[in-house]
Amino acid sequence: MKISMYDACVPPGIRMLNNLAAILEKAAAHAEAKKIDPEVLVNARLFPDMFPLARQAQIASDTAKAGAARLMGLEPPSFEDNEKTLAELIARAKKTVVYLETLKPAQFEGSEDRTVNWKTRTTERSMQGLPYLVHQVLPNIYFHVTTAYNILRHNGVELGKMDFLGR
């Protein structure tokens, strides 16, 4: 049985961004219950040279929407990286899901062989669609959602494996 590029890209992106939103909602409830300034969580990081929670959530969102758009040969939608609260990060994750839900399987036809070009902070990259999805997009979504989960868990938010995986 074959898996389509759409099925390998869009549903996992939707699932992980929905799970991220739910994790962030738990963080907001935790901050309120424990009388913690939510800004502390938004700016928390695991190590000094790592991005804080807010940036982890932004990158997860960017990777999901940009990865899908590039596979379709489209310009990704641009979201400002200006979220400063847990509520704003939750809204961004949900906004990304809304975008992903508009995509159709037919838009991904032939994308496994399409050359995808993109810029990173330091370089320009290019690869075929299938390796781009498998080696760039999916690992980055999982990495940044995992890191957001770990930042919150490290800061006392009661999260478990099922929060990451979803139900």
Contacts of 126 (CB under 8 A, 6+ apart): 115, 116, 117, 118
Q: What is the pTM for the complete model shown?
A: 0.95
pLDDT in tens, 131-146: 999 999 999 999 999 9
What value does the mean pLDDT take over residues 64-74?
97
Residue 62 to residue 109: CA distance in whole angstroms:
22
Residue 53 to residue 4: CA distance in whole angstroms:
32
Report residue 10 as tokens. 């869009």
Q: What DSSP element (H or E) covers 67?
A: helix 53-71
* Number of residues in the chain: 167
Percent of the chain with pLDDT over 70: 99
Domains delineated in the chain:
5-165 (1.20.120.450)
Residue 119 to residue 63: CA distance in whole angstroms:
12
Instruction: Give the three-class secondary structure for 81.
Output: coil
Residue 57 to residue 151: CA distance in whole angstroms:
11
Q: What DSSP element (H or E) covers 152?
A: helix 138-154
Residue 118 pairs with which residues in a beta bridge?
A: 125
pLDDT in tens, 3-51: 999 999 999 999 999 999 999 999 999 999 999 999 999 999 999 999 9
